[in-house]
Structure formats: structure tokens, C-alpha cells
Amino acid sequence: MNDLPEKFDELTGREFLERIWAGPGASPLGILLNMRLIEVGDGSATFEAIPSRKFYNPQQRCHGGFAATLIDSALGCAVQSKLGRGVRYGTVELKVNYIRPIFEETGRLTCAGKVVHAGRRMSTAEARVIDAAGKLYAHGSVTFMVFDP
Amino acid sequence: MNDLPEKFDELTGREFLERIWAGPGASPLGILLNMRLIEVGDGSATFEAIPSRKFYNPQQRCHGGFAATLIDSALGCAVQSKLGRGVRYGTVELKVNYIRPIFEETGRLTCAGKVVHAGRRMSTAEARVIDAAGKLYAHGSVTFMVFDP
Amino acid sequence: MNDLPEKFDELTGREFLERIWAGPGASPLGILLNMRLIEVGDGSATFEAIPSRKFYNPQQRCHGGFAATLIDSALGCAVQSKLGRGVRYGTVELKVNYIRPIFEETGRLTCAGKVVHAGRRMSTAEARVIDAAGKLYAHGSVTFMVFDP
Amino acid sequence: MNDLPEKFDELTGREFLERIWAGPGASPLGILLNMRLIEVGDGSATFEAIPSRKFYNPQQRCHGGFAATLIDSALGCAVQSKLGRGVRYGTVELKVNYIRPIFEETGRLTCAGKVVHAGRRMSTAEARVIDAAGKLYAHGSVTFMVFDP
């Protein structure tokens, strides 16, 4: 948390998402893994991801870390969309259920995340990863700790 | 699972790890994320990972997906080391607890995974992610389904 | 699984729920913990539970095991409602998020569970525990293995 | 948390465990489910549990809530053993992996829990449930929030 943009403390979570995430280089790992925030609501966020052989494991399908990263991203933004000015958060735990293997041929995936509980100290959220036809590939939940200064 | 090396069905899990993982391009996502299998035992496996700003999230620390990928990798190999010839497996669910933020300055991490239960249809395993000084950054567990042909 | 009613193999999951669960003594732990199946749908099930000081932990609120039992019950029935004749299932893993403490004064809770994925070998489901006013106390997910004879 | 013994705030976690848990009626749910704290260490705790048909589900084996309660109990005490005077804690999330069905005939189980990380705001711990022969029936992990006044 040592290198946040200077203006971070002046922004609400939603403003941070709209200004920072949208910028170039906002999420280096997201760029590396073809993932992009495409929608933010009040307590919700949707990412898209384009699977590639570059994200494969030795079993020649997308590594479990690919869907885990996607779910953590969408849920982090869903929770952040509810945060007030200068409030920070961190992932406490992440749980992913893998339903089907993801291949490059699977094509564009979206991951919609929704806050289940937005508390003063703790928030939880759930997400699903689906393809263009609505088929389910993974789902998961995350617990976040919230730090209100 | 459509593109496994032809010889896969003739190898035990341990042979697969020793011959395939060790080869170039074995794990594209592992290469992309600076992760590497450094040790395989009977029901155990250790990965190393070198954190980098390339793996950061917008909060300017390593994305939760980084540790999730590392834990899934180590535990997949730990479970695979126990599998007989031609037996396949897939991640059913992954759970990660995040203890401390990981920065580029954190330096080389290792993730040692151990099988807790190796069953005919299901295996479980646990891992810890530590730095050179033994400090804990994350830990987690994975459930794998095992497919014995 | 050694003592199932003789007719089990002739019943679908839904028939089992309607005939067996409804009977006296169907779920000894459910009776002990004031929990009762009140509704079964196609891939969904709702339980009610009446908190009591008998279910407290030494911190003088309902033990975490109380909500865990409730969620496992509702989700087991939700999954079972989708199973064909003679198909069996077992809980592989259970994950519960605790949102608020439950006291005797909290009064009647309901836990609605819904199948997220009903597969041939594996099913997953999610549930929420709420009070009469709709306030959230816990939520969770379960992975079940399915055994099709 | 409204009804704690008056002296709670003067006790360390370990003293609380030794004086309160040991007393009659300390854990009403523990008594109901044949569970008992048998050992406390520095960051560890062991429970015993005697399975009974009273804890069965309709599938005629011990309900998943039985092992979940046992694991939450052992891990709560393991974490509590590290807490200073007047510090409180609550379960944030519980994760259980079920390895084998538990029957009345399984006999006495023990559940040993160990703290993995004891933090100022958050603690995590892991446990295993085994029978007299050391056979594994379930294992799990818990995240606790810690409230230092």
C-alpha cells in the first residue's frame, strides 16, 4: 500500500475506480492477463477477460490462477465502489469453485461481482465467470477487510 | 484437457512433473508470473516466485491473483506427485488466506505445498507462502478431483 | 451411508426430500438444533431455524457451528432436489461467512439455498441466512460430490 | 457478545479457556454435541467429540455441521489461547473439507487446531479431525477477527 497515487485519499472508491482503473497501467496484472474493468455499479463491478494459451498450465488449459485473478479483481472493484473517501481495503480470503476448464477457444469471459455485505470493518462479495453464451466456468467469494481512517 | 502431450498417459504424476514441468514452456502462466517448480517430493512440491511491479493491482501491491496462482501451482504439483500412470486431476476449489501484502521489494517467495488427503476420487492439499526470512504472506488449501481411467 | 432407508434407491432426490425429510426423526441433528426444511424447489431449498441459548458458545452467542449446520442442511437439500433416482451425494467442502452474531433474541432465521451448478460428478450451491426482517447473518457455499450408480 | 461473564475483561484468552471453558455449561452447544476441550497450548487447542446417531443427517451418517462445529470450536480456542487481557474475537469465515463419513461406530474423534497467523486484527488457524487410529475425517481452516480494545 506504499505507493498509492497521491490523490487517493481525496477520492471515494467509485471515483478511484472511474479515474484510476480506467487509466493506462492502472492494473499491471490485469493488463498482463487480458483483463479489463468494463462496468461499475453501486456494489457491483464487471470484468472481461480474454483467455489465451499464454495463461495455460501444463495440463494445457487456463491455470486456476487465471479465474482466481479475475474473480478477485471483479470483487475488489465491487467492494471498492461502496467505499467512502480515503477508505482502504484488502483481501482477507478468496474462495474459487472451478466448474469447467477454460481454453483459448472458450473466448471472451465476463465476471460480474456483487457485494453481499458491506460492513464498517468487513465486506463480502460473490462473483460468477461466464462465457458469451452464459455458460458458467467458475464462481467464488471474497472477504475484504475495510480500513476506515 | 485437449492438448496434453502424447506421452501423458504413459507417465506417473511424478514422471510428468519431472519431465514436463521441467521443460521450456511447460507452464506458460508460470513463466509469465516468474514462478517455477523447484522441488518435488512424494506428496509435496515447492515453487519459487519473484514478485514484480508487473503483477501489481491498482493499490500498488501484488494482486491477490499472484499468491492464488502460486498456491494453486504448488498444490497441483503436490497432488500430481502422488498420481499413478495416466491418472488426471483438476482443481475443484481453491481457498487463499492473505496475511501480508506482497511488494516487489519483498523479494523471492517460496510456496511449499503438501497433500493432506490423497483419495481415489478426491485429494486435498495445503500450502504456505513465505519469504527468505520465513515470514508468512499467504496460505491456502485446494480440493482436486482425481480421474482414474 | 450404511443405513439408508431401503427404498432410497427407488426415489428421486426430490421424492426423498418430500417423503423422508418430512418424516419424524428424519434428521436427528436438525431436530436437536431446531432446524426444519420448510420448502423445496427445483434446485432450491429453504430451512428455518430457531436460535436458542442451548446453541451458544462460551462467548454467549450462537456457536459458528449453528449457522454452518443450517447452511449445509439447506444446500444439501437444494442439491438433492435435482438428483435422479438412486443418485447419492456427499459434502466435499463447506465455506461459511459470518456477518453478525446470532442470539436467542434474534428469533426465527431462514436459510434459502440455491444450486449454482448441478453437474454429473460435482454440484455447487450458495445460501444466505436471514432473520424475519431480511437482515443477513451468514452466507456460504458448498461443493458436493455426486455418485451416479 | 452481550452476556459475557463479568470478569471476562480481566482475563487473558488462556485464563478464559482454563477457567470458563472448564466450567459447567461453558459451551452449551459443545455439551449438546458431545464435544469437550481437552488440551490448550500456546496457539493450539484440542477437542474430543463422541459421534452419535443423534447427530445424523437423513443420509444416516453424521451431519456436516458436526465436524464444522468441532473444527470451529478447536480453532476458536487455539486463537483465544494467544489473546491478551480483554481482547475479543469472532469467526469471520470457516472452511471445512470432508474426507470420510463419520458414523457412531467411528468412535471418539479428536480435533487438534493450530494458529497459523496471530495478527493484531486478524488470526487464522487450521485443524484436522482424526479417529483413535489417526485416520483423517475432516480438516479445515478459520479466519478470526480480533478486537483489541
Q: pLDDT at residue A22 above 70?
A: no
Beta-carbon contacts of C41 under 8 Å, excluding residues fewer than 6 positions away, are C81
Nearest to A55 among B28, B68, B95 (CB): B28
Say which amino acid occupies D114.
K
Rounded Cα distance between D5 and D26, Å, is 10
pLDDT at D1: 34
* Nearest C-alpha in C relative to B122: C92
Torsions phi, psi for D72 (to 5 deg): -60, -35
The maximal CA–CA distance of chain D, rounded, in angstroms, is 46
Across the range A132-140, mean pLDDT stands at 98
pLDDT of residue C2: 37
Length of chain D: 149
DSSP D6: G
Chain D positions in Cβ-Cβ contact with residue B124 (cut-off 8 Å):
97, 99, 139
Q: List the helix and strand counts (H, then E) for chain D.
A: 3, 6
Q: Which residues of D touch C21 (CB under 8 A)?
A: 58
A149: how many CB neighbours lie within 10 A of its CB? Answer: 8
Instruction: Give B136's contacts in chain D (Cβ within 8 Å).
Output: 116-117
**Closest by Cα among B78, B6, B93, B92 to B46:** B78
pLDDT for D15 equals 84
- Report the candidate in C124, C12, C24, C138 with the shortest Cα–Cα distance to residue C75: C124
**pLDDT tens track, chain C, 149 positions:** 334 455 667 788 888 888 766 665 578 999 999 999 999 999 999 999 999 999 999 889 999 999 999 999 999 999 999 998 889 899 999 999 999 999 999 999 999 999 999 999 999 999 999 999 999 999 999 999 998 77
D148: Cα separation from own chain's centroid:
21
| Cβ proximity of A32 and B32 under 8 Å | yes
Scanning the structure block, which residue is given the C-alpha cell 464487471? Answer: A46
Nearest to C90 among D55, D96, D101 (CB): D101
pTM of the predicted protein model: 0.93
**Which among B21, B97, B142 has the least Cβ separation from residue A93?**
B97
User: Which 106-125 residues of chain C touch chain A by CB within 8 A?
Assistant: 116-117, 119, 124
* ipTM of this complex prediction, to 2 decimal places: 0.92
Strand order in the sheet with A88-98: A35-40, A44-49, A109-118, A122-131, A136-147, A88-98, B88-98, B136-147, B122-131, B109-118, B44-49, B35-40
Q: Give the three-class secondary structure for C1.
A: coil
* Positive or negative torsion for Cα B56, B112, B142, D64: negative
Question: Can you read off the three cell numbers belonging to residue D16?
Answer: 478464559
The number of beta carbons lying within 10 Å of the beta carbon of residue C124 is 24
Give the SS3 label for residue C17: helix
Does the pLDDT of residue B44 top 50, yes or no? Answer: yes
Alpha-carbon gap: D145 to the closest alpha carbon of chain A (Å): 9
Return the pLDDT at A64: 97
Q: Which residue has the higher pLDDT, B38 or C19?
A: B38
pLDDT number for residue D21: 66
Do A63 and B27 contact (CB within 8 A), yes or no?
yes
Answer yes or no: are the C-beta atoms of B48 and B108 closer than 8 Å: yes
Interface contact flag, B1 A59, Cβ < 8 Å: yes
* Cβ–Cβ contact C126 with D under 8 A: no
Cβ-based contacts of A142 with chain B (< 8 Å)? 64
Return the exposure string of B7-27: e unless at least 16 CB atoms fall within 10 Å of the residue's CB, then b: ebeebbbbebbeebbeeeebb
Burial A118-138 (b: 16+ CB within 10 A, else e): beeebbbbbbbbbbeeeebbb
At B19-37, the pLDDT tens digits run 766 665 578 999 999 999 9
Contact D116 B136 (CB under 8 A): yes
Q: Would you state the cell numbers that stand for residue D148, as one nine-digit string?
A: 483489541
Please give the pLDDT value at position B118: 96
Nearest to D143 among B97, B117, B136 (CB): B97
The stretch A138-143 carries a mean pLDDT of: 98
- pLDDT at residue D11, rounded to an integer: 82
User: What are the DSSP calls for B41-107, one per residue?
Assistant: -SSEEEEEE---GGGB-TTSSB-HHHHHHHHHHHHHHHHHTT--TT-EEEEEEEEEEE-S---GGG-
Phi, psi of D35 (to 5 degrees): -115, 145
d(CA C60, CA C63): 8
Cβ-Cβ contacts under 8 Å, B139 against chain D: 116-117, 124
Task: Give CA–CA dist D140/C94, Å, rounded.
Answer: 9
Q: What is the pLDDT of residue A18?
A: 80
Is A107 in contact with A48 (CB distance < 8 Å)? no
Task: Tell me the one-letter amino acid at C73.
Answer: S
The number of residues making up chain C comes to 149
Query: Which of B97, B117, B128 is the closest to D99 by Cβ?
Result: B117
DSSP string, C99-128: -S---GGG--EEEEEEEEEE-SSEEEEEEE
The pLDDT, as a whole number, for residue A123 is 97
Q: List per-residue pLDDT tens for chain D, 149 residues long.
A: 334 455 667 788 888 888 766 665 578 999 999 999 999 999 999 999 999 999 999 889 999 999 999 999 999 999 999 998 889 899 999 999 999 999 999 999 999 999 999 999 999 999 999 999 999 999 999 999 998 77
Average pLDDT over every residue of A116-125: 96
Closest CA to A78 of A49, A50, A116: A116
CB-based contact A77:A39 (threshold 8 Å):
no
**Contact across the interface for C94 and D96, Cβ inside 8 Å:** yes
What is the per-residue pLDDT for D2?
37
3-state secondary structure chain A: CCCCCHHHHHCCHHHHHHHHHCCCCCCHHHHHCCEEEEEECCCEEEEEECCCHHHECCCCCECHHHHHHHHHHHHHHHHHCCCCCCCEEEEEEEEEEECCCCCHHHCCEEEEEEEEEECCCEEEEEEEEEECCCCEEEEEEEEEEEECC
- Whole-angstrom Cα distance, residue D127 to residue B98? 18
Angle at A143 between CA A139 and CA A144, to 5 degrees: 130
C-alpha cell at C106: 434474534
Cβ within 8 Å, pair A95-D92: no
In chain B, residues 19-78 whose CB comes closer than 8 Å to chain D: none
8 Å CB contact of D56 and C16: no
CA–CA distance, B29 with B26 (Å, rounded to integer):
9
Question: Is the CB of residue A91 less than 8 Å away from at least one CB of chain C?
Answer: no
Look at phi and psi of residue C124 and say left if phi exceeds 0, alpha if psi is from -120 to 50, else beta: beta
